[in-house]
């Protein structure tokens, strides 16, 4: 029963606010969704035109888009999806604990498929807004990704 309450507390769609991951890609736009069926989808990208050439489009035309432009766009975007669960490394509550994204079923980074991404979570309630902090150790430094719940 407690697991269901924790999953319900995380459920929703969140807007990326910022990241504090030293040296990580400069993701400045993104959505993260936890659904009640136990699945997560994360999509993040840079909006900097120097890192995401505006000429790259879908479906790709047969001309005027180089492989180098596509590689640059892919380098500064990350998407993945799969099941999620609450970890057991330490006691979890509706406010904080460990969340495990995976094993991932799909990812824009092929090597992430089948992996499980472990994050610590803290939910913050501020002026009727809910903020989700996903955090952990990044090479000896506390790193966090901050999200605001949209619904």
**Per-residue three-class SS string for 69-80:** HHHHHHHCEEEE
CB 4 within 8 A of CB 36: no
Distance CA 15, CA 43 (A): 10
DSSP secondary structure letter of residue 111 = G
Task: Give the pLDDT score at 20.
Answer: 85
Cis peptide before 40 (omega within 30 of 0): no
Look at residue 102 in the predicted model and tell me its pLDDT: 98
- One pLDDT digit (tens) per residue for the chain, 151 residues: 588 899 999 999 999 999 887 766 678 899 999 999 999 999 999 988 888 888 888 887 777 788 899 999 999 999 999 999 999 888 999 999 999 999 999 999 999 999 999 999 999 999 999 999 999 887 888 889 999 999 8
Rg (Cα) of the chain, in Å, rounded? 17
Nearest to 41 by CA among 89, 119, 104, 110: 104
pLDDT of the residue at 2 = 81
Alpha helical stretches, state H, the chain: 2-10, 67-75
What's the pLDDT score for residue 39? Answer: 98
Please provide residue 134's backbone torsions phi and psi, each rounded to the nearest 5 degrees.
Answer: -100, 125
Q: What six digits make up the tokens of 102?
A: 């995976």
Domains and CATH numbers, the chain: 2-149 (2.40.128)
- For tokens 């099941």, name the residue: 83
Residue 85 near residue 102 (C-beta atoms within 8 A)? no
Residues in the chain: 151
């Amino acid at each position: 029963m407690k697991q269901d309450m924790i999953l319900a507390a995380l459920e929703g769609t969140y807007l990326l606010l910022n990241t504090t991951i030293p040296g990580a890609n400069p993701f400045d736009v993104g959505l993260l969704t936890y659904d009640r069926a136990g699945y997560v989808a994360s999509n993040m990208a840079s909006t900097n035109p120097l890192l995401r050439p505006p000429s790259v489009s879908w479906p790709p035309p047969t001309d005027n888009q180089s492989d180098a432009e596509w590689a640059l766009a892919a380098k500064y975007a990350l998407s993945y999806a799969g099941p999620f669960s609450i970890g057991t490394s330490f006691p979890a509550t509706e406010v904080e604990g460990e969340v495990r994204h995976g094993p991932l079923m799909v990812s824009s980074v092929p090597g992430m498929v089948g992996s499980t991404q472990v994050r610590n979570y803290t939910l913050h309630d501020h002026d009727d807004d809910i903020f989700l902090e996903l955090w952990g150790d990044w090479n000896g430094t506390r790193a966090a990704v901050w999200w605001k719940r949209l619904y």
